[in-house]
């Protein structure tokens, strides 16, 4: 009897272990489905629909730069009406310019270039779609035209981010701020700040403290020419903020390498009080510190 009881207990334990392993595998599979890496794993096989804005100036640049630079997946251009038709389909990803409005803003202040995945959640709005990567593009109400200069870099960084996100969940969830880690590699590079990209607190006296032959201020046209000419070993600034910011609006600050379009600095701050749009003393201090 004791032997039979032992065998019965042994069998029960084996069954418990077997079902436990199955439950663990099932739980692992379910957890895996929830990760961003898995959710976008089909992005290179699906068609990207590039949604045109209706602005001849923007659409002309968008068509040209996507044709020149997009290598991540097959793509085709579509109208906003066609986007509305296809947005709930998981067969497509979409690249589009959208206007973003933060909680304290009474109207959208910034336009973003966003890459999202189609799906049923799209019926609730673009902000409910799976966000793959989103980058600040321009002022929503008064774009300066510099967004066209930096559009090639934005597209290159977005593709680079997706490739990293496909390789690592950590990269996918770390976001674009992770690119600021590249700053330590900028020690031997020259940096040009467009004068319009500096905040009011970065006055002439403050500039004297930081800027030298390797960190310089240039007027907007000169800075943009340095970037479009793909000047070797050089970083150029680009900021995005509302034309008329209010307390609670955000300013985004970036440094791109002119030749490679690599992103070396990505940071944002909330506008309000002494914190005006543009690179702050804190930003310049961070950048200068890693170059010593």
Q: What is the pLDDT of residues 69-107, one digit of tens each?
A: 999 999 999 999 999 999 999 999 999 999 998 887 788
Nearest-angstrom CA–CA distance, 194 and 216: 9
Q: Is the pLDDT of residue 161 over 70?
A: yes
Nearest-angstrom CA–CA distance, 137 and 277: 15
The DSSP annotation for 77-94 comes to EE-HHHHHHHTT-TTEEE
Q: Is the pLDDT of residue 36 over 70?
A: yes
Question: With contact defined as beta carbons under 8 Å apart, do 274 and 244 qualify?
Answer: no
Nearest-angstrom CA–CA distance, 16 and 14: 5
Between strands 75-78 and 47-51, the pairing is: parallel
Query: Token pair of 162, please?
Result: 């997706």
Query: Token pair of 188, please?
Result: 């031997």
Nearest-angstrom CA–CA distance, 54 and 74: 22
Q: What is the pLDDT of residues 281-291, one digit of tens each?
A: 999 999 999 98
Give the residue-averaged pLDDT of 106-130.
Answer: 96
Pure H helices in 143-211: 146-167, 169-174, 204-210
Give the residue-averaged pLDDT of 181-209.
Answer: 95
Domain ranges for the chain: 42-154, 175-289
Quote the Cα angle for 252-253-256, to 5°. Answer: 130
Give me the pLDDT at residue 179, please: 96
Nearest-angstrom CA–CA distance, 110 and 243: 9
Give me the pLDDT at residue 245, please: 93
Instruction: Specify the DSSP element, H or E, that contains 194.
Output: strand 190-194
pTM, 2 dp: 0.87
Question: With contact defined as beta carbons under 8 Å apart, do 138 and 144 qualify?
Answer: yes
Nearest-angstrom CA–CA distance, 165 and 244: 34
Nearest-angstrom CA–CA distance, 96 and 93: 10
Through-space distance between the first and last CA atoms of the chain, rounded to whole angstroms: 81
Give the residue-averaged pLDDT of 130-149.
Answer: 97
Give me the pLDDT at residue 17, please: 43
Please count the CA atoms within 13 angstroms of the CA of 196 that sit on its side-chain side: 13
Question: How far is residue 113 CA from its own chain's centroid?
Answer: 8
Q: Is the pLDDT of residue 28 over 60?
A: no
Give me the pLDDT at residue 31, please: 44
Give the residue-averaged pLDDT of 121-135.
Answer: 97
Tokens 């336009």 belong to which residue? 111
Q: Angle of helix 56-69 relative to helix 146-167, nearest 10 degrees?
A: 40
Give me the pLDDT at residue 27, please: 44
Give me the pLDDT at residue 9, please: 43
Give me the pLDDT at residue 33, please: 53
Query: Token pair of 288, please?
Result: 């200068």
């Amino acid at each position: 009897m004791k032997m039979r009881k032992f065998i019965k207990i042994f069998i029960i334990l084996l069954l418990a272990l077997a079902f436990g392993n199955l439950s663990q595998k099932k739980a692992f599979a379910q957890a895996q489905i929830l990760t961003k890496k898995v959710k976008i794993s089909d992005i290179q096989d699906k068609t990207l629909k590039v949604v045109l804005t209706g602005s001849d100036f923007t659409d002309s640049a968008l068509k040209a730069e996507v044709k020149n630079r997009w290598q991540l997946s097959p793509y085709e251009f579509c109208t906003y009406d066609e986007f509305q038709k296809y947005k709930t389909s998981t067969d497509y990803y979409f690249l589009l310019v959208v206007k973003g409005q933060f909680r304290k803003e009474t109207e959208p202040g910034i336009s973003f270039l966003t890459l999202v995945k189609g799906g049923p959640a799209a019926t609730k709005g673009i902000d409910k779609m799976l966000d793959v990567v989103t980058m600040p593009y321009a002022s929503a109400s008064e774009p300066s035209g510099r967004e066209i200069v930096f559009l090639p870099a934005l597209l290159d960084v977005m593709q680079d981010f997706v490739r990293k996100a496909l390789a690592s969940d950590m990269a996918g969830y770390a976001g674009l701020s992770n690119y600021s880690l590249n700053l330590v590699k900028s020690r031997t590079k020259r940096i040009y700040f467009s004068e319009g990209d500096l905040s009011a607190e970065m006055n002439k006296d403050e500039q004297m403290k930081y800027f030298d032959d390797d960190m310089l201020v240039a007027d907007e046209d000169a800075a943009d020419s340095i970037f479009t000419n793909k000047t070797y070993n050089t970083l150029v600034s680009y900021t995005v903020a509302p034309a008329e910011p209010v307390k609670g609006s955000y300013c985004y600050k970036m440094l791109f390498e002119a030749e490679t379009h690599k992103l070396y600095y990505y940071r944002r701050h909330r506008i309000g009080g002494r914190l005006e749009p543009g690179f702050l003393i804190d930003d310049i201090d961070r950048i200068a510190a890693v170059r010593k």
